[in-house]
A and B are shown apart, each in its own frame.
Chain A
Amino acid sequence: MVKPKTIVIALLAVLIAILAARRLFPSEAREVRKQFDRLSKWVSKGRAESALTMARKIKRIGTLFADPCKFRTPIYSFSGTYTPEEISSYAAAAHLQLAKLSLRFYDHNIQFPEEGTAKVVFTAKLTGTTKMGESIHETHEVECTLRKSEDKWLFTDCEVVEVLKK
């Protein structure tokens, strides 16, 4: 008869093996998620952030987007096609106006309709404070398309889904 301790040890060993395999051989979905993590990290701004850190982060934001990248937002006047440089400069302008900014992504649903293309539906939550002290709370469902180019997943198309239609 198998001892309960053996079962626990076996389960732990399987768990460690799975975690190690995931780390050593990252899946495409994990690579896509990493791009979202980077975007979140580089767009967000802390109160005590230095100008140098901010400049470095803003420069990096552009590297996540394809040239050109299409935005479709029914709510804001941001719809259009932008180059990575334009996206970086928009981010810089936003950073200057805001004292604090946090961009978080939740509930990623990643699908690969064809090789080298990923479609991701997720919830984006933007919170922050302007330098005037006003609070910002924005939550939207977003659908993004990413394409693989030179081993890097780049955002090529982003659309804000209108869940509540005025």
Chain B
Amino acid sequence: MAGKNIVRQFLFPRVTRKFLTRVCAVALFAYLIFGHLYIPLRIQGESMEPTYRSARFNFCWTLRYVFSKPKRRDVVVIRLAGKKVMLLKRVVAVEGEEVEFREGKLYVDGKEIDEPYVRYPCDWNLSPRRVEKGCVYAVGDNRSMLMRYHDFGQVSIKRIVGVPLW
């Protein structure tokens, strides 16, 4: 009987001032936390496989770069027109560095970079290019497709929203 009452109270609560205050506080808290600090993400697409598989759930931690800049190997979330659809990529070079692909191997400033996160075969060739000021060079971990089918390249740091939480 008591259990039934609790369920009833939970589903049909009495609208009191205290109840309304609580509802507003929870709504505000949820909006701040999940709208601005930990933005929920559902990963779609294969460009970051096997590190991040399609259809998995994650959060974007937005305060990661408040006091620092993205570094090489960081996985970052890049915004497009807004924050409903964003891109997940890995930073492979930062501003001022020269990036190049030779037979699928990444070279930064002429030195080959070890990339243990790239598990699938890659045969890309991309002539050297210098990363402009205020930008980073971002590429997905899955480079098994043809280069023209993979979205990667130089992106402004201003577009980086944060990092995946795990």
The reply to whether the CB of A48 lies closer than 8 angstroms to some CB of chain B is no
User: Are A4 and B15 neighbours in the complex by a CB distance under 8 Å?
Assistant: yes
> A107 near B: Cβ within 8 Å?
yes
CB of B126 within 8 Å of the partner chain: yes
| A106 engages B155 (CB within 8 Å) | no
Contact status A106-B84, CB under 8 Å: yes
Q: With A139-B87, A164-B151 given, is the CB distance from A4 to B81 under 8 Å?
A: no
Contacts of A5 on B, CB cut-off 8 Å?
15
Contact call B19/A140, Cβ cutoff below 8 A? no
What is the size category of the interface that chain B forms with chain A? 20 to 34
Contacts of B89 in A (CB 8 A): 164
The residue of chain B having its C-beta at the shortest distance from the C-beta of A162 within the complex is B153
Residues of A within 8 Å of B87, CB to CB, are 139, 163-164
Complex partner residue of A166 from B80, B84, B126, CB under 8 angstroms: B126
Interface size on A, residues (CB 8 A): 22
Contacts of B44 in A (CB 8 A): 137
Q: Given A137-B45, A164-B151, A166-B152, does the pair A8, B20 have CB atoms closer than 8 Å?
A: yes
Asked whether A67 is an interface residue with its Cβ less than 8 Å from the other chain, the reply is no
Query: Is A141 engaged at the interface, CB distance under 8 Å to the other chain?
Result: yes
Chain A residue nearest in CB terms to B129:
A166
Closest Cβ of chain B to A78, distance in Å, is 14
Measured CB to CB, the nearest residue on chain A to B148 is A75
Q: Is the CB of A139 within 8 A of B15?
A: no
Do A164 and B154 have beta carbons less than 8 Å apart? yes
The answer to the question of B138 belonging to the interface, with a C-beta cut-off of 8 Å to chain A, is yes
Bound CA span A142–B80, Å:
9
- Find A163's partner among B45, B80, B82, B126 (CB 8 Å cutoff): B80
Q: Tell whether A165 is near chain B: CB-to-CB under 8 Å.
A: yes
CB within 8 Å of B: which A1-15 residues: 4-5, 7-8
5 contacts between A and B (CB under 8 A): A107-B85, A123-B81, A139-B87, A166-B126, A166-B153
Instruction: Write the residues of chain A forming the contact surface with B, with a CB cutoff of 8 angstroms.
Output: 4-5, 7-8, 106-109, 121-123, 125, 137, 139-142, 162-166
